[in-house]
Structure 1
Amino acid sequence: MVHITAFFDLALQNFALSPLSTFSFIHASREDFKVSPNFARHLSSFMSVFADNKLPDHIAWEFIASVIILDAFPPDMHMFNPSEVFRILYREACALGIQEYLDSRQLSTDLARLVPPTCRIRLFATDGGGAKGVVTIGFIQKLQEALDPKRPVQENADLSIGTSTGGVINLGLFGKNWTPDQCLAFFRKFAKIIFASKAKARFSIWSWISLCSWVSWIMRISGGRYDADILEKFLQEAYGTTPMFHTARPSGMKYAVTATTLSDATLCLISNYHTEGKPTSNLGYKHLPPTSDKGEILIWEAARCTTAAPTIFKPKRLRSFGTFQDGGLRNNNPVRPGLHLVSRIWDDGDCDIVLSIGNGFEQKPLSPVASNFRNLFLDGALARLYRASMESLSLNGQNSWDDHWHGLDEETKTNHFRLNLPLQGKEPGIDDIDSMDSLYQKTMCHQGDMMEIVRAFKGVTFFFELDRTLVDDGPFYICYGSILSRSPDSPRFIQLLTSDYPYAQFFNHGTSLGYISKNDICKLCGRYTKLVAFRVRHSSDQADIYLRFNRLSHRRISAFPKPIDWFIKRQKLNAKFGQPNHKSTIEPRQSDCSCQLQRKRDIPISLAGNLKRRLVTRTRTRRKKIRGNGD
């Protein structure tokens, strides 16, 4: 009856909107989760992998058929004729995918949406700054030490973006999966070799006297002060020949570096992922995917493009893609391009945490005293133009952050953080390798907001899912749901959290939902699942679940505050014909954990106590009925 009622409602809606149009039962049943628009490309990629590994063709066809059946008939789906479902939904896409495979025989990848639907994004953004990059690495080391010294700090990010030096660090951490210590060792060697290379354009004051020397200097400086060949050789040795695409992390971690075109300084983002759907031209930047019909971008090539600062290194030409230079010309602090990427990849574009990491900035007096003496060289037009350009929002990462920060509302500001090192005196130059040790030591002694940032990351590691649709309870509705953890190692995460905060507990609008306990960890799969329930007057009411560490500090868990309708929509709980995650909305949840190992047991471990209580309750109820009949 559920399907008949749903079909009747959908048919009425279709008739009301377009009386003469034909109503398709199959299309109507997939209204909540349509077939991926990139199904053909997925199929072509899969067939290419099979061909490259010389696997038998019949295995590929059987696997493809089983995948289509699995996608077409999730739990609760109406039992249509499979042949009709294939003809209407998949046949054309299969034909296009096979044709694409036969035409190109090139590997094509697509976006893997592994972020849970009710989670929001954790964004890392690292500034450019030359030799000052040791400050960035120092902050990352301190962050990992505070979060969990034994787990990669990269696990706490869904998207990372870097510019210039920050891009090089980004590619090491997320592209090569280096530890922060490995990244520091690499960067020290990188800076000393690159910036100690013989400069191409050293000149004296007497060069300005001769017009010929001036022209000669211009010609030399246009190629860069430092040897780009040494830079490329070092990057190739460090990163190898690994392509950007083949470095996709198992967790679905996505990363990108910025560059600009040589012709018009258009911002370009070189990434390790493809985006779904067709690219649009009004983004304000160009997206260079890791693979395309033009070729494949290697990690070292991406590092070379993002570090090609004008007057420092000559631009880098990528075959078939064009010529690129340092991304810092447009966004030395890449937090804004990172937010654009979030909105492009994930449909609602919200972030749980935005962490911007700088590499030192010069502290200036709030009320500078103007000098009465005007120096021709220091205050002339060229000098003023140079200072203005260097202090512009694009080149000065701290100014860019301040501008971004002041544009946020007060609620959003609580999720945006900046780690940077205030410097006394003049800021070191990008090639000042002698200042690296001093900058690193100052970073290790600088505290900043590290503890609040750590609590924020721990808070958004938890997320909430509804276990079923709302239950009517008189003037209220009961929300039955689960608080889950997206940590790859939940037992260790919970152990560290309860060790630091033994009385940590969850709240919703000031009402306790229970303490964090190791008992909520599944003994079979290790996942954390805490069953909770609370009341709302309407599905449009806003829930606000947060983790209270102690009496003085608390942080919201992922995505909150949000109305309950948002969770229903994200989880597609109102879908009458199944869900893309193959969970059933009709069958009640049988255990605290939904792992496959739990389902295979006759009596789930997590429900043993509940089952005993149910049996006792049923026995008491039965005795009451018997006594009632006896009376």
Structure 2
Amino acid sequence: MRPRNDSSWLDVRHGGDDTFVVQDHGRLTQLISELPRSNHQYPLLSVFIGNKTKDVALQTIFPHNNIRRTRSKSSIGLRYDTASVGSDNPTLFADGDINSNRECNDPMPGVHDYSVTWDVDNTNNALKLLYAHLLFIFADVVCIFADDFPDIASVAQFLIDCIESGSQSTLPRVVRPRVLVVLADYPDQAIQDGSAVESFYQKLHAAGPTRLSEPFAFINLVYLDFNHSEQTRYDRLRVWLKIQSDDIRTVRRVNWAEWNTLQLNAFFRSALRQLSSNDKFPFNFVKASREENPVPAGLSNHILHYMEVGTRQGCSLETLLSSMASALIMDHYVPDMILMEPRAVLRTLYRPAFLQAFRDYRGPKLPRPVAMLISGVEQEFVRQFQLLQSTGQSSLDFRRCQLLSMSAELSKIQSDRICFYCLVRPAQHSQACGHTVCDLCPQLFGEPALDAEYRFTMSMCLLCQSQATAVIDVLPPTMNPTVLAIDGGGVRGGIPLEYLILIQERLGVECRLVDLVDVSVGSSSGGLLVLGLIGMEWDAPACSQTFDLLARRIFRERRQPVISWLLRLVLGRDSLLGNIPKWLSWFLHDSCYDPRIFDISLQEAFSGSRRVFDPVGEPSQSPVHSKSKFGVIAASIAKDTRSFVFGNFNAVDWFCKDHGYELFRAETRNAEPFMWEVGRATAAAPFYFSTAHLRHIGSFQDGGLQDNFAAGIAGRLCRRIWPSKAGIARLISMGTGDASPPTDRSPHFRHVFRDGFLRRGFDAFMSNLGTTSKWLQMVEHLDSAVRPDYIRLDVSLNDIPCTIDDAEAMDDYRNLVILQPGSARMAGEVATSLLVARFFFTLESHLEIESIGTHIWCHGTIRCKGPIKAVVRALERMHSERVDFVSDSEHLGAFGGDDDVCRACGRYSKSVSLFLQHPSEVFNIYMRINKHPKWRISGFPASAVSISEAQQLEHPFGRSDHGQPINTPCALCDGLANPFRGTRRKRTSMMSMEEQGRKRARVVGQAQVYTAGS
């Protein structure tokens, strides 16, 4: 950032159309960055309003500051007292006038504009509102120099204007600013001043004593003896400020209103945004503290579900209320969070959710009315908070102890919808005991792996104290999901299977395809493949073999009654009379194949007792593993046919029903469908098989009837599972054969037997099952920058009939893939694309502002998710030529393969640094092979700001992960991850121009690059 010798902070200008623009020069952020211990320093903010007298006073009160040299060019300036900069309570002081005579009509670089709508006619009145609506929210002391006003009545009018604007803060009255009006004490003006002061107080009290106390703690006057020197004259004021400062620190601590400088800055930015949104409500500090980490959506639905499941399964009301209170304490009181008054926290953040949940409750009758239940929750919340403070525990450890102490009752209840560890997030992973957890709780309550990224081991269930171990993989925050979507097509499922085999061959035996995919979605036969690949963790050859056996068994022979067989024997095979009994049998059985054979075959293939939400592995053989997610599509049989998705995950908004499909999730584990039942539902094609009846759920038919294009619904599912993700890293869509393209023109109607409604309806239905046109529509709606991340694998059927039950044609379908020119090359490109998508980028520290314009250093590390050595070696084997990491414009370093894998912990670590134009500049990181086309690593395109937000690097109010580690610390690679860490010296605004001028940076093209070990 360019050198700043002025203290400019805030200004107001006309915005046109009865609006004003508040300009923030970023001064508060700059000053805080210069403090030595900003996260452990608790500032006091004083506001001095006046002109010449005010300037003289500031020079005397703050003798170590160069007031004249750092004079503000804006209406309001900001400085810190250099004498207190290293103390626990540094003094920040803002100063300005209430008259805006400066020209600031044009936007300036580095200045943020906030448009506001105020019912005033000029910038002077707008500036007064800026004091009242923004500065006084955070001020501890306000000093008004009356000699810089026309008269003392003008001071009274200014204060009345602030009073009439109402209280802009939810803080207690004693914490609001203390106003001191400073008057000159001239002996010959004593009588005149006496009457003026009396008029001053009368005017204030005319506004009403109650309203007088709304924006201010109190208003006092002080006389300065102008017969003495300036030093002596302002001693009285300096002593008064010192006394008030000492008292304010105590008052803030007692009234839950003590925050550090980083938190002050975050509050200020939040208040500016509220000001710009024309929100007329007082600034709520509790709400503002959760702006970056909001209360999870749908909390009322979580509370309602927990209450209904708990009461139905025999858990006492007291246990339920107590467990909810400790869960919410863990949710809010994360490390670094301000210790706010617990009643205010509950009433502001959680009470509406409890009120809605208790009103919607439909379980066994509760012994208390809603008002008493909410009062009970509040009392329990306060009681547990006091216990938390007395024990000195973290809220995370407190929650762990609470769960263990209540495990005798909590072990009775299970749910596959919400996480019972935190109660605020949906369940995403299942433990061997049947209790489920969200994506975050494994990090909070588990142990991170040494040799993998975002892999956690939970060695005991806190709800039932089961000792079965669960290993859980979660998606890193800066990584986007990789999606595998397989369309339906009956026996033509051999086409995507052949592609999967080719991809696996390119990857090698060590690197499994299932480990490169985060979520897989399939419809009809594609759903069966997804269940095998992800749900059962079969490799591609095993999945292909099982699919072949299954298809040949269930499509062996169509139903044929004995009488039909006899008539055809007597009258001939093509006899119409001989076929009528067969057709009648199909109609009465609602299928032409025997569904019992289908059921038995599926049970044998998918294990009759395996449920869809079960983790991978046998519960009796620890550990079980939960990693990739899968979804299988089926269609309802109702008049308004719609899709149902059965999977091993939940959406964040699982309670929302207006998505055009339903993501099914049973309330309890015993009600979850079996894997084979889901397979039966997704492949129950009309005419071929009867509907699938899932106990206590309903009847379903082939998912391809509604959503045969699996990639379409897969993209929507990803947005519901990971709503914070900007996009998809890779989407691999696999078709089941594309029929010959239609002719250019529509044929003429010939006759009713060839072009009647039966033929037209059947053709239209089969055309709707086609997916090529839907793929093209999807690609057309994509931004050109991300289109290369979406890949389609399919073949043309040529002259082979488009059938779904001809098992004898399966080899012909497979041969289409093998014989298609470029199939092996395409499979290799997909394999490379999947491998590259396992790499992601993380920032290692906060963004560093350089002294050249607004450029920033972006230091980070490229990591690898999944089986690291298998991924790295597969890339090395497939591409023996040079592989490089590059940005959009510059080379970042060479891919070192095994040399980049830490010898101590086994994790991949590649340090890179980029020199960006601006923190919000969108950039990409690619892997480029021998200067050929490049593949984007996961998480991009992105900006440094978006990556920092995803990692919660700037967390003045704490992180949702409570600062728990994402992996076991490694002294070797963690220490080398950021070679710049700890080398940057704080630059203060007091640094001389000569010293700042010596700071320079070497610029290479458009980027400045550092690569460790390259």
Bin the TM-score by the shorter chain.
0.7 to 0.9
Counterpart selection for 2:844 from 455, 467, 492:
467
1:316 to 1:595, Cα distance in 2 relative to 1, 3 A: closer
Question: Structure 2 matches for 1:348-427, cutoff 5 A?
Answer: 348=725, 350-364=727-741, 377-390=753-766, 392=767, 394-427=768-801
Q: For 1:260, what is the secondary structure of its paired residue?
A: strand
Larger deviation, residues 472-481 vs 15-24: 15-24
Q: Which amino acid aligns with 2:734?
A: I
1:48·1:107 contact (CA, 8 Å) conserved in 2? Answer: no
* Residue 510 of structure 2: aligned partner: 150
1:349 to 1:534, Cα distance in 2 relative to 1, 3 A: closer
* Residue 220 of structure 1: aligned partner: 587
Cα distance in 2 between the residues matched to 1:44 and 1:179: 41
1:195 to 1:524, Cα distance in 2 relative to 1, 3 A: same
Q: Which amino acid aligns with 1:245?
A: F
2:858·2:944 contact (CA, 8 Å) conserved in 1? Answer: no
* Residue 596 of structure 1: aligned partner: 968
Cα distance in 2 between the residues matched to 1:18 and 1:381: 60
* Residue 690 of structure 2: aligned partner: 314
1:362·1:422 contact (CA, 8 Å) conserved in 2? Answer: yes
Cα distance in 2 between the residues matched to 1:280 and 1:38: 9
Counterpart selection for 2:942 from 555, 562, 565:
562
* Residue 31 of structure 1: aligned partner: 291
* Residue 437 of structure 1: aligned partner: 811
Cα distance in 2 between the residues matched to 1:492 and 1:127: 29
Counterpart selection for 1:179 from 539, 555, 558:
539
1:165 counterpart = 2:487: no
1:535 Cα deviation after fit: 1.8
Q: Which amino acid aligns with 1:223?
A: D
1:506 counterpart = 2:852: no
2:909·2:973 contact (CA, 8 Å) conserved in 1? Answer: no
Counterpart selection for 1:496 from 866, 869, 874:
874
Cα distance in 1 between the residues matched to 2:902 and 2:324: 33
Q: For 1:302, what is the secondary structure of its paired residue?
A: helix
2:859·2:913 contact (CA, 8 Å) conserved in 1? Answer: yes
1:453 to 1:537, Cα distance in 2 relative to 1, 3 A: same
Q: For 1:168, what is the secondary structure of its paired residue?
A: helix
* Residue 706 of structure 2: aligned partner: 330
Cα distance in 2 between the residues matched to 1:367 and 1:24: 64
Q: For 1:547, what is the secondary structure of its paired residue?
A: strand
Q: Which amino acid aligns with 1:167?
A: G
Larger deviation, residues 70-79 vs 156-165: 70-79
Larger deviation, residues 346-355 vs 21-30: 21-30
1:482·1:532 contact (CA, 8 Å) conserved in 2? Answer: yes
2:503·2:828 contact (CA, 8 Å) conserved in 1? Answer: no
Question: Structure 2 matches for 1:68-107, cutoff 5 A?
Answer: 71-79=331-339, 105-107=413-415
1:174 to 1:398, Cα distance in 2 relative to 1, 3 A: same
* Residue 254 of structure 2: aligned partner: none
Counterpart selection for 2:636 from 261, 265, 273:
261
1:160 to 1:19, Cα distance in 2 relative to 1, 3 A: closer
Q: For 2:495, what is the secondary structure of its paired residue?
A: helix
Cα distance in 2 between the residues matched to 1:237 and 1:24: 60
Q: For 1:317, what is the secondary structure of its paired residue?
A: strand
Counterpart selection for 2:484 from 97, 118, 124:
124
Cα distance in 1 between the residues matched to 2:836 and 2:876: 13
Q: For 2:785, what is the secondary structure of its paired residue?
A: helix
Q: For 1:481, what is the secondary structure of its paired residue?
A: strand
1:468 Cα deviation after fit: 2.8
Cα distance in 1 between the residues matched to 2:973 and 2:882: 28
> Looking at CA atoms only, which structure, 1 or 2, has the larger radius of gyration?
2
1:433 to 1:486, Cα distance in 2 relative to 1, 3 A: same
1:330 Cα deviation after fit: 1.6
1:10 to 1:174, Cα distance in 2 relative to 1, 3 A: same
1:461 to 1:100, Cα distance in 2 relative to 1, 3 A: farther
1:273·1:290 contact (CA, 8 Å) conserved in 2? Answer: no
Counterpart selection for 1:279 from 655, 660, 663:
655
1:172 Cα deviation after fit: 1.1
1:135 counterpart = 2:495: yes
Cα distance in 1 between the residues matched to 2:350 and 2:510: 46
Instruction: Name the structure, 1 or 2, with higher relative contact order (CA <8 Å, separation 6+).
Output: 1
* Residue 196 of structure 1: aligned partner: 556
Q: For 1:524, what is the secondary structure of its paired residue?
A: coil
2:749·2:755 contact (CA, 8 Å) conserved in 1? Answer: no
Q: Which amino acid aligns with 2:809?
A: S
Q: Which amino acid aligns with 1:31?
A: E
Cα distance in 2 between the residues matched to 1:212 and 1:454: 50
1:594 to 1:456, Cα distance in 2 relative to 1, 3 A: same
1:160 to 1:595, Cα distance in 2 relative to 1, 3 A: closer
1:278 to 1:461, Cα distance in 2 relative to 1, 3 A: closer
Q: For 1:351, what is the secondary structure of its paired residue?
A: coil
* Residue 57 of structure 1: aligned partner: none
> Which ranges of structure 1 fall in alignment gaps of 5 or more residues?
51-59, 585-592, 615-631
Cα distance in 1 between the residues matched to 2:633 and 2:887: 40
1:282 to 1:454, Cα distance in 2 relative to 1, 3 A: same
Q: For 1:482, what is the secondary structure of its paired residue?
A: strand
Q: Which amino acid aligns with 2:733?
A: S
Counterpart selection for 1:3 from 254, 263, 273:
263
Q: For 1:301, what is the secondary structure of its paired residue?
A: helix
Q: Which amino acid aligns with 1:527?
A: R
Q: Which amino acid aligns with 2:693?
A: R
Cα distance in 1 between the residues matched to 2:888 and 2:832: 19
Report percent identity of matched pairs: 27
Give a deviation string over 1:88-145, Cα, whole Å, max 9, x none. 7679989989x99999934234334432222222111111121222222221121122
1:190 Cα deviation after fit: 0.6
1:514 Cα deviation after fit: 1.0
Cα distance in 2 between the residues matched to 1:389 and 1:38: 39
Cα distance in 1 between the residues matched to 2:280 and 2:782: 49
Cα distance in 2 between the residues matched to 1:489 and 1:396: 36
Give a deviation string over 1:6-28, Cα, whole Å, max 9, x none. 44554676688789856554443
Cα distance in 2 between the residues matched to 1:594 and 1:309: 45
1:70 to 1:437, Cα distance in 2 relative to 1, 3 A: same
2:849·2:857 contact (CA, 8 Å) conserved in 1? Answer: no
> Which ranges of structure 2 fall in alignment gaps of 5 or more residues?
1-260, 311-319, 366-411, 418-425, 429-437, 440-473, 617-623, 984-1014
Q: For 1:350, what is the secondary structure of its paired residue?
A: coil
Cα distance in 1 between the residues matched to 2:635 and 2:344: 49
Cα distance in 2 between the residues matched to 1:64 and 1:462: 38
Q: Which amino acid aligns with 2:615?
A: T
1:199·1:226 contact (CA, 8 Å) conserved in 2? Answer: yes
